[in-house]
Structure 1
């Protein structure tokens, strides 16, 4: 990305925060759809107006997609992914400033998005700006509240780490206090303590910190948070490209070189935060999806079992109703939408599930527990339960004589090993290969795939599966003790 805006380009009459929002939306669209090539920012003057061009060599837009920008917005209306609501919001903001936005685009060759803004007249700037600001705020609140809330309602928390207080003050001033809560620290030790104590949306860290370097800080953060859970932006010296390579090796998501360009810092920071939230939303949706996967036939069969026991064994019926209630409560517990839950919470869910299954199938289901009772760890929710359910439904109950499921949880020096072992029908080599190739292609592997994805995102590792036809399956995963 190259800025060809002259250093002495005159000021424009605009709200600074809204102008940054306009540029961010347009640049984000250009970056998103330019896999290879270049992006240029150009500014020129014409008839007391500034004309700003953002040109890219990306995939471009066809006439249908471009036309969406000029259609009136209606609640519930959907926009093509190639244009996004961000450009529509930018168009409306530019028009409120007295300018226009236009697109020139050729599919597979690139786009030229350009807009106009009035140039500032120093003698009347304050009076005109005050008038514009009052008018714009009124119109924004009445006609664009819904659209703008999608972009600017969140309050993001950023931790900045640099041993130079002046650098910290400069970087902090770049971010709007209405959208960002900035905490600055000058020592690595204090920063690491804050990361342990509080939740953050982004960490900005200087590579050359005293005592504990920026690279060491990144390395320590990565022991607790993955690249997608807590993004890190590295600050480096422009003439030292090796800093960038080292930063990526230790786990940085992106970098900005010194001396810092204000727009670049803000755009890169917002892009990392948006990525974090989009991934977080997907994880929550996946967890909610997994949480909802109580099969209707499981509920129906359990209720039938309760009804049949009411006439032959009321004590067993009462026990079964109690465990069924515990199972439903644990299944729909809001904690299941969290990143991790205590091991005991997951075990309670598994025990309730197994009790219900044993009441239905009797001697066909045998359970062995091999657990170190002193273990205190957190694990992804509905992970162990998914493996146990898979072992029963697709393992031992596929055999006429049933079988045994062993739940083994053992503590080692650096990790805790969690295994679900069954002596069921096993998995064919073809199915096993499909499961191990990103867990796609088998109907019985939906729960396994979801669990595997979460393990990879949180810990950077995946399920280990060993299976032999007609002998059984062993599914294992490790939880780092850190």
Structure 2
């Protein structure tokens, strides 16, 4: 068991801990690692003793600066963090960790003698996950630690699953070398156009994820159909249209994909009901699917393909206007997109 000690008292406690086995918890392999951060050795000793008895691996830090170094070196599963420390207080440590992509999922429990409302609000604002007031109850401490470590592992499993989906999406894109950085461009434009429309942060995130995942279902389409250079037969086209349903099935098990699935399924619908797979009409088409469809079409028109040249921005907008006149697109949304493109003054699209 890896326990960092700072004085003879801690050494005694660590030796005691190492000779005991938990009667409350057992862990499959590596024991969850807890970082205890407090500038008072006796406080650290108490927490380390209680957690060690429960089978946790305990490491200690006597300052905020030391804590930040140990987090990067040891990657703890949870942090017990004192608030009142010299030089760098617990709130500052928490804020830095939650802003870091590599440490943001580590649960942080503030342990403090403070019991006022302002301190708790500050802790929540900096990203803290829980609060325990000293002197803390043994049973309560263990229960909160177990709960947050369980939640962390669920979050990690979810993040790993999401990463697998994005990897599949990148593999799908690489099957067709003609698309280039299509997904990257859609992600970037989705963010910008979403902000232009004043969409919520979650809606913008779904748009950006849709940039990568909208065609993930093409993983189930045979190369003979997906990469065919000539015109598809009616039978082949029916196979190709299945990619939206395949993509929906791939992503459906993940709750975090709830806002992306309508984009995946419905980004080929048309305003007049002539699209697929459901023949949805007008506002029956999910709004984010409509927004995504606009940027997807625009990127396709302004990108070079073996079968077409890249249209200029003016030409692309003109084609989209023609399709709107045919009844294929949402007129209001196309107008908003045109205004969005025109807002980039260096493109000078609105001079006429």
**Structure number having the greater helix percentage:** 2
Q: Structure with the greater relative contact order (CA < 8 A, sep ≥ 6): 1 or 2?
A: 2
**Structure number having the greater strand percentage:** 1
Q: Normalised by the shorter chain, which TM-score bucket?
A: 0.3 to 0.5
